[in-house]
């Protein structure tokens, strides 16, 4: 295929996607979701590295350990607040339309959870089957454990999101009654837990108490999204979120000395994201306010077919991107470790500026491998029409076995 014919083919595809988009489609919301989705692989690929031990096995490492100035980058790449905001907005609209069609609450929830569960079951079952095969070909167990940890790392989000999705009917009721203020108790709950675990009596507080932040911490932005979808959060509220969230974020960093990084740093005792701290909610509030304020401008930009087409492709492959992006990086790194040893920016320690430059050069290859993988993995997002009970049970057993291995329980 010549370059000219390739351009024509791409132009036809872009025009076709734009033409098939319904007029009522909220392009801005889809654009925000796509942006938040892309931030996940880019963040993991940039802020996650490897080291090689004497036996050639891969271990996780992070440039944040040596480069504290990288922390502000995590403020940009940590866009789960936007993702939960858009998720709440979309769920509120979907739930309302389902009820208008006469769909039961249980049936609506089953459909939403199935779309989340199938891709997760697919990637974990495939990895469970691959582990013994890769080990038989000489891949060290430690490399396989490192890879399994990376694969399962972003999947915690799916479990949390599933629980939050199940709460949508109650979130809708709260939004209709209290508007955006329905998210305030969630903020207060996280603030209280943070005070207990970081305050004067922190030494007497059990470590498990931080887990109490898990649900309200991520439900906060989702509730804002539901309020937005119910038209109970507008521009005035968005300005309040942007200003208030920014002020709280600065206060927590400068006066209360919260860790600057939004992701965990190896060796650090405190982390902002697992489970979420008040700093995460402050960032989520500011991001949510900015997103709502920029909605019209984003929607206008996405009227351009060339910008809209990638957004559609990313949204159609949302769970594939989430579930398989770490596999794409490992597909490049594991063979490199086995056959080439220390490769700059890939299997060398992320402790030099040269590593950063080299890692940036690897990103296009990671993206290409993810795109190629996605051509086949996207089938897991569709209903498994050919998978009967026995095959589904086998996939479930394999997935459970992989979780046990990845979490170090066996």
Round the average pLDDT of the chain to a whole number and report it.
91
Please tell me the least confidently modeled range out of 245-249, 261-265, 274-278.
Answer: 261-265
Average pLDDT estimate for 175-180: 96
% of the chain beyond a pLDDT of 90: 65
C-alpha to C-alpha distances, 198 to 252, 259, 272, 318, nearest whole angstrom: 12, 12, 12, 36
Return d(Cα 50, Cα 110) in angstroms, integer: 39
pLDDT at 410: 61
Give the confidence band of 385 by pLDDT, cuts at 50, 70, 90. low
pLDDT at 178: 97
Is the CB of residue 18 less than 8 Å from the CB of residue 308?
yes
**Residue 249, C-beta contacts closer than 8 angstroms, at least 6 positions apart:** 279, 282, 283, 286
pLDDT at 306: 93
C-alpha to C-alpha distances, 4 to 7, 10, 368, nearest whole angstrom: 5, 10, 22
pLDDT at 389: 65
Please tell me the least confidently modeled range out of 5-19, 191-205, 216-230.
Answer: 5-19
DSSP state at residue 203: G
> At residue 374, does pLDDT exceed 60?
yes
Structural domain boundaries in the chain: 26-406
pLDDT at 265: 74
pTM as predicted: 0.92
Q: How many CB atoms lie within 10 A of CB 398?
A: 18
Return d(Cα 114, Cα 118) in angstroms, integer: 6
Please name the residue that has the structure tokens 């944040």.
64
Please name the residue that has the structure tokens 């095959």.
391
Q: What's phi and psi for 166, nearest 5 deg?
A: -65, -25
Average pLDDT estimate for 210-237: 96
Average pLDDT estimate for 63-90: 88
Handedness of CA 358, 54, 131, 396 (dihedral sign): negative
The neighbouring-strand residues paired with 61 are 49
Average pLDDT estimate for 15-39: 92
For residue 92, which of 202, 225, 194 has the smallest C-alpha distance? 225
pLDDT tens digit sequence for 14-24: 888 988 998 88
Is the CB of residue 308 less than 8 Å from the CB of residue 27?
yes
Q: Which two tokens stand for residue 252?
A: 């927590």
pLDDT at 370: 96
Return d(Cα 99, Cα 375) in angstroms, integer: 34
Average pLDDT estimate for 169-195: 97
Is the CB of residue 222 less than 8 Å from the CB of residue 88?
yes
Give the confidence band of 315 by pLDDT, cuts at 50, 70, 90. very high
Is the CB of residue 38 less than 8 Å from the CB of residue 314?
yes
> At residue 215, does pLDDT exceed 90?
yes
Is the CB of residue 265 less than 8 Å from the CB of residue 62?
yes
Give the confidence band of 133 by pLDDT, cuts at 50, 70, 90. very high
Q: What's phi and psi for 233, nearest 5 deg?
A: -140, 115
pLDDT at 386: 61
Give the confidence band of 253 by pLDDT, cuts at 50, 70, 90. very high
pLDDT at 403: 86
Give the confidence band of 45 by pLDDT, cuts at 50, 70, 90. very high
Give the confidence band of 378 by pLDDT, cuts at 50, 70, 90. confident
Return d(Cα 49, Cα 404) in angstroms, integer: 24
Handedness of CA 18, 20, 23, 27 (dihedral sign): negative
Average pLDDT estimate for 147-166: 90
> At residue 388, does pLDDT exceed 70?
no
Average pLDDT estimate for 267-288: 90
């Amino acid at each position: 295929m010549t370059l000219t014919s390739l351009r024509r083919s791409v132009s036809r595809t872009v025009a076709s996607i734009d033409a098939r988009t319904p007029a009522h489609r909220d392009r801005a919301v889809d654009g925000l979701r796509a942006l938040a989705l892309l931030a996940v692989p880019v963040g993991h690929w940039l802020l996650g590295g490897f080291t090689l031990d004497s036996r050639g096995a891969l271990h996780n490492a992070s440039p944040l350990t040596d480069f504290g100035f990288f922390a502000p980058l995590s403020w940009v790449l940590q866009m789960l607040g936007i993702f939960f905001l858009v998720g709440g907005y979309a769920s509120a609209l979907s739930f309302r339309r389902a009820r208008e069609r006469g769909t039961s609450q249980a049936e609506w929830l089953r459909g939403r959870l199935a779309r989340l569960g199938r891709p997760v079951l697919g990637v974990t079952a495939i990895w469970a089957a691959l582990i013994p095969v890769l080990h038989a070909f000489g891949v060290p167990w430690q490399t396989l454990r490192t890879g399994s940890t990376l694969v399962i790392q972003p999947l915690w989000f799916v479990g949390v999101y599933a629980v939050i999705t199940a709460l949508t009917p109650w979130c809708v009721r709260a939004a209709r009654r209290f508007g955006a203020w329905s998210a305030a108790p969630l903020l207060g709950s996280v603030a209280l837990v943070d005070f207990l675990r970081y305050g004067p009596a922190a030494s007497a507080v059990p470590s498990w108490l931080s887990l109490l932040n898990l649900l309200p911490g991520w439900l906060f932005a989702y509730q804002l999204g539901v309020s937005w979808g119910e038209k109970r959060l507008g521009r005035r509220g968005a300005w309040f979120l942007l200003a208030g969230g920014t002020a709280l974020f600065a206060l927590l960093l400068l006066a209360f000395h919260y860790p600057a990084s939004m992701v965990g740093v190896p060796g650090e005792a405190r982390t902002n994201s697992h489970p979420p701290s008040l700093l995460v909610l402050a960032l989520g509030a500011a991001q949510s306010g900015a997103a709502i304020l920029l909605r019209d401008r984003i929607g206008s930009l996405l009227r351009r077919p060339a910008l809209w087409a990638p957004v559609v492709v990313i949204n159609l492959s949302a769970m594939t991107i989430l579930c398989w992006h770490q596999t794409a990086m490992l597909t490049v790194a594991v063979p490199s470790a086995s056959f080439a040893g220390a490769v700059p920016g890939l299997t060398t320690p992320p402790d030099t500026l040269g590593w950063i430059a080299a890692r940036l050069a690897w990103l296009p290859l990671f993206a290409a491998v993810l795109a190629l993988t996605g051509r086949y993995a996207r089938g897991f997002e569709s209903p498994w029409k050919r998978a009967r009970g026995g095959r589904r049970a086998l996939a479930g057993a394999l997935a459970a076995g992989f979780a046990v291995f990845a979490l170090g329980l066996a």
